[in-house]
Amino acid sequence: MEKLHINLDEKSYDIFIERGIFEEVGKYISKFYKKKKIVVVTDTNVDSLYGDMLLKNLENSGYVPSKVVFDAGEENKNFDTLTKVYEKIIDSGIKRGDLLIAFGGGVVGDLAGFAASTIYRGMDFIQIPTTLLAQVDSSVGGKVAVDTTRGKNLVGSFYQPKMVIIDPELLKTLDEREVRSGMAEVIKYGAIYDNEFFNYLLEKEDLKSSMEDIEKIIKRCCEIKAKIVEVDELDLGLRMILNFGHTLGHAIEKYYDYTKYTHGEAISIGMYEITILGEKLGITKTGESKKIKEILKKYELPIEDKVNLGDLIEIMKSDKKNISGILNFIFLSEIGKVEVKKVAEEEIGNKLLK
C-alpha cells in the first residue's frame, strides 16, 4: 500500500493508493470519521458499476450510507445539477457534521466537492476517484467547481478533502481512450518536474506495461502534485506549472466545442505544440519536442491538429478566466524543468506567432 501525506497545516490529509482498497474503504474512513451517516455523491455511470458495492462496503463497516446520483457527463456539471444534489442531500437527513464521499471521475469530484464546500457552509468530504485523470490530478489539491454558461469551472473554491482513496482496480472498467487520456496528465508530471519519471514512462513498452505498474505511477504523480500544492495551494504561483499544455489544450477543446477530443487528448496536443513553439522562441532546449512526440505517440495520443494558432489565440483571449488580461504560458526549458511566461493579451499574437 502506498500512502502519501499532503501537508497543509490543519487542512492536511492522507492519500492511500492500493489495488483492492475500495473493498476496505470503511476501514480507512473509520480512522477519522466516528459518526454513522455518509452520503455518497456519484454519477449514473459509476453508480451502475460500483454504487451498490460501495454502499455495502460502508454498511459492513457499520455506517449508514445514502446515495445521490446525477446524470453522467460534463454537460451536467452545472447549477441545475448542483441544486438537485443539494436538495437530495438535505432530504436524506444528512447534517453538517456528517460525511460526503465524492465517488467518480473529474466531473463528480468537482461538483460533489463544490457541494461539500458550500452546503451547510461546508461539510467534510473524501474523494474516491475512479478515472486515471481524477486519480492523478483532480482528486488531489482541493480544486472544486461547476461550469457556467459563460465557461468551465468559473464558479468554485479551494476545499481540501479529508482523505483520498485511490484504487487502480477501478480503472479496469474504464474505456481505453479514457485511460490513454489520463496518461497525458501522467506524462505532464514527468515533463514539468521529473526527468527520471519521464524517461521511465518513455522506456515502457506500451500502455499495457505501464498499467502493470500503475500503482507506482499514480503514486509518483500524486507525490509531485502534493509537493506543488503544499507550496501554492491557492494557485497564485508554482501551481500554474500544472497547466503545461493546458492553455493551448483548453483552446483546442473549445474550438471543437468539446466534441472532437477528450481533455487529455487536447492537453497532449497542447504539450507538443507549446514545446515546438518553445524551441522556436529559444526558450526550450532543442530536441525536447522530439522526446515529447515520442512519448505521446507511445501512448497513442494525438500531437497535432489542423486548427491554426491564430484561431486558438482568439479563443485564449476570450477566456473568461483571463480576467487580468495576462495569460500564463508554461514552457519547458528542458524535460523536467519549466519556465512560465506571462504574456499580455494584446501581445499574444506578436509573442507567439513570430
SS3 assignment for 57-71: HHHHCCCEEEEEEEC
Residue 317, amino acid? K
Residues 6 or more apart whose Cβ sits within 8 Å of residue 285: 279, 332, 333, 334
Of the two residues 89 and 242, which places its CB atom closer to ligand GLY in the complex? 242
Minimum Å gap between C-beta 222 and ligand GLY is 12
* CA separation for the pair 332, 271 (Å, rounded): 9
Sign of CA dihedral 320, 277, 196, 186: positive
Of the two residues 222 and 242, which places its CB atom closer to ligand GLY in the complex? 242
Minimum Å gap between C-beta 83 and ligand GLY is 25
* CA separation for the pair 187, 311 (Å, rounded): 26
Q: Which three cell numbers stand for residue 123?
A: 461539510
Minimum Å gap between C-beta 250 and ligand GLY is 11
Q: Which residues of 125-147 are buried (b: 16+ CB within 10 A; e: fewer)?
A: bbbbbbbbbbbbbbbbbbbbbbb
Of the two residues 239 and 260, which places its CB atom closer to ligand GLY in the complex? 239
Q: Is 118 exposed, middle or buried (0-12, 13-18, 19+ CB in 10 A)?
A: middle
Cβ atoms within 10 Å, residue 308: 10
Minimum Å gap between C-beta 46 and ligand GLY is 20
Of the two residues 25 and 327, which places its CB atom closer to ligand GLY in the complex? 327
Using DSSP's 3-state secondary structure scheme, residue 6 falls into strand
* CA separation for the pair 220, 242 (Å, rounded): 14
* CA separation for the pair 11, 340 (Å, rounded): 28
Minimum Å gap between C-beta 159 and ligand GLY is 12
Of the two residues 38 and 330, which places its CB atom closer to ligand GLY in the complex? 330
Minimum Å gap between C-beta 65 and ligand GLY is 28
Q: Which residue is nearest to ligand GLY (CB)?
A: 242
Minimum Å gap between C-beta 332 and ligand GLY is 17
Q: Which helix (H) or strand (E) holds 5?
A: strand 2-6
Residue indicated by cell numbers 524551441 = 279
Of the two residues 137 and 305, which places its CB atom closer to ligand GLY in the complex? 137
Minimum Å gap between C-beta 247 and ligand GLY is 12
* CA separation for the pair 310, 103 (Å, rounded): 39
* CA separation for the pair 350, 354 (Å, rounded): 6
Of the two residues 23 and 178, which places its CB atom closer to ligand GLY in the complex? 178
Of the two residues 180 and 263, which places its CB atom closer to ligand GLY in the complex? 263
Q: Which residues of the chain form contacts with ligand GLY (CB under 6 A)? A: 137-138, 141, 143, 235, 239, 242
